[in-house]
Amino acid sequence: MAVVETRDLTKVFKEGQLGAVNHVNLETREGEFLVFLGPSGSGKTTLLRMIAGLETPTSGEILIGGQVVNDLSPRERRIAMVFQSYALYPHLSVYKNIAFPLKAQNVKKELHKERVEWAASLLGIAALLDRKPRELSGGERQRVALARAIVREPAVFLLDEPLSNLDAKLRASAREELERFHRRVGTTTIYVTHDQVEAMAMGDRVMVLNKGVVRQLGTPTDVYDNPADTFVATFLGSPPMNLAELGDLIVGFRPEHFQPAPTITDPAVPFRFKVENIEYLGSEWIVSGTLVGGKLEGKKVFSRLSSAQNLQLGGMYDFAVPQSHLKFFDRSSEKRVEPRAVSWQ
């Protein structure tokens, strides 16, 4: 188990252009589950690959367990990686797939069986040891990939979007399995995803990246309730936070905080809301429409409601946002600022 650190890490693929990863500083905590979250092209996978040793940094340092590893091969870094496609060796049985790292590290043959069986039972795939990868389902393949990763007892786990190839239904249970796996094994894990639901559910901490730059690093609560800038604010949460320009500020409030006025007891900012679309999702309603009157006239906003029976398409209603849930961002820097008094009319 070790701490992964990067210092001013940068990767530039094409000279003169913005790097894929720009001056990233991070330090994991021992045993934590850290998520790199960001859209495609944000550099999260490149960052992971540099930590793994599959890409050479343009500048900056990578440290694992306090040791600078820039010049070490992946093998020497004592990391294990699970690829998006799982990268199982198709011509080898599950047993041989899991045993391969042991073979490659010249572990004595007598010890292989014991370790493979330990890893396989940890992931519940002991019955599949004789099968070939093509005979396995997506979820089973993920477990084989994990078994192959754990069998060497690495210092750090690196996972590159391992759930993105699974069916939506399977994803939830696979996600839960990963969480349980991490609690059992406790190895420092870095997990890359573009899915903010996964990030929120699984991460001890989430590092939000965009265009190769770290936007925020914090717990799920931090990034969701106290976003550092408008990018983080809109990237997390679905539908995203409602944002509107007001003078030299950008004001934001989440759809679940935009409720019919009668239901709010705390001090709140009132809005007149014209309903234009209602979606019933079973567990909740997503209602979208435009604000009427005041400085935010015509602004499209979303609301999440547990019940919308009384709302009609085209109807106008009194909605409100509790003051405590309003977020303020500086318009030019897009960074979060302290709440201020503003006039809404």
Partner 1 sequence: MAKGISQRFWGKLVHLLVLATFTILLAFPFYWMLITSFKQNLDLYTMENNPFLFNAKPTLDHVKFLFTETRFVRWLGNTAFVGVVVVAITLLLAVPAAYSLARLSGRWGERLGIGIFLTYLVPPTLLFIPLSRVVAYLGLQDSLWALILVYPTFTVPFSIWLLMSFFKSIPKELEDAAMVDGLTRFGAFVKLMIPISVSGILTVVIFTFTLVTQEFVYALTFISSESNQMIGTGIPIFLVRGDVYYWGALMAACLIASLPIAFMYNLFLDRFIAGFTVGAVK
Partner 2 sequence: MAVVQSKIRSISAAQSPLLGATMFSPAILYILLLVGGPFFLAIFYAFSDARIGNAEMHFVGLENFRSILQSPSFRIAIRNSFIFTIGSQIVVIVGSSILAISLEKPFRGRGLIRFLILLPWVAPIALGAIGWKWILDSIYSVITWVLVAVHIYKPFSAPMWLGEPRLAIASVLLVHSWRLMPFSTVILLAGRTAIPKDIPEAAAVDGAGFWRTELQIVIPMMWSIISVAVLFGLIFTFTDMTVVYILTAGGPFDSTQTLPSLAFALGIQGSDLAAGAAISLFLVPLLVIIAYFMLRVAHRAEVN
- Please report whether residue 85 would count as binding partner 2 according to CB under 8 A: yes
Q: For residues 257-296, which are near partner 1 according to CB under 8 A?
A: none
Q: Where are the beta strands (DSSP E) in the chain?
A: 4-11, 21-27, 33-37, 59-64, 67-68, 79-82, 156-160, 188-193, 205-210, 213-218, 242-246, 249-253, 259-260, 268-280, 285-292, 300-305, 316-322, 327-330, 336-337
Mask: binding to partner 1, 40-69, rule CB under 8 A, as x and -? -------------xx-x------------x
Residue 321 beta carbon to partner 2: minimum distance, rounded to whole angstroms: 46
Alpha helices in the chain (DSSP H): 44-52, 94-104, 109-122, 138-150, 168-185, 196-202, 220-225, 230-235
Number of residues that bind partner 1 (CB under 8 A): 9
Peptide bond into 220 cis (omega under 30): no
Pick one of 100, 118, 285, 328: the residue that binds partner 2 (CB under 8 A).
Answer: 100
Which residue type is seen at 189? Answer: T
Select from partner 2, partner 1, none the partner in contact with residue 41, using the beta carbon and a kind-dependent cut-off of 5 to 8 Å: none
Q: Which is nearer to partner 2, 155 or 326 (CB)?
A: 155
Q: For residues 23-82, which are near partner 2 according to CB under 8 A?
A: 52-54, 73-75, 79-81
- Please report whether residue 152 would count as binding partner 2 according to CB under 8 A: yes
Select from partner 1, partner 2, none the partner in contact with residue 38, using the beta carbon and a kind-dependent cut-off of 5 to 8 Å: none
DSSP state of 152: T
1 near 186, Cβ under 8 Å?
yes
- Please report whether residue 104 would count as binding partner 2 according to CB under 8 A: yes
Q: Which is nearer to partner 1, 61 or 176 (CB)?
A: 61
Q: Which is nearer to partner 2, 143 or 215 (CB)?
A: 143
- Please report whether residue 74 would count as binding partner 1 according to CB under 8 A: yes
- Please report whether residue 324 would count as binding partner 1 according to CB under 8 A: no
The number of residues making up the chain comes to: 345
- Please report whether residue 87 would count as binding partner 2 according to CB under 8 A: yes
- Please report whether residue 90 would count as binding partner 1 according to CB under 8 A: no
Measured CA to CA, the distance from residue 333 to residue 103 in angstroms comes to 53
- Please report whether residue 87 would count as binding partner 1 according to CB under 8 A: no
Phi/psi at 119 (nearest 5 deg)? -65, -40
Count CA within 13 A, CB hemisphere, residue 318.
7
- Please report whether residue 246 would count as binding partner 1 according to CB under 8 A: no
DSSP state of 261: G
- Please report whether residue 72 would count as binding partner 1 according to CB under 8 A: yes
Q: Which is nearer to partner 1, 53 or 289 (CB)?
A: 53
242 near 255, Cβ under 8 Å?
yes
Q: For residues 294-333, which are near partner 2 according to CB under 8 A?
A: none
- Alpha carbon 336 to its chain's center: 21
Beta-ladder partners of 230: none
Q: Which is nearer to partner 1, 40 or 73 (CB)?
A: 73
Alpha helices in 230-273 (DSSP H): 230-235
313 near 277, Cβ under 8 Å?
yes
Residue 221 beta carbon to partner 1: minimum distance, rounded to whole angstroms: 36
- Per CB under 8 A, residues contacting partner 1 are 53-54, 56, 69-74
- Per CB under 8 A, residues contacting partner 2 are 52-54, 73-75, 79-81, 83-85, 87, 89-91, 100-101, 103-105, 134, 148, 152
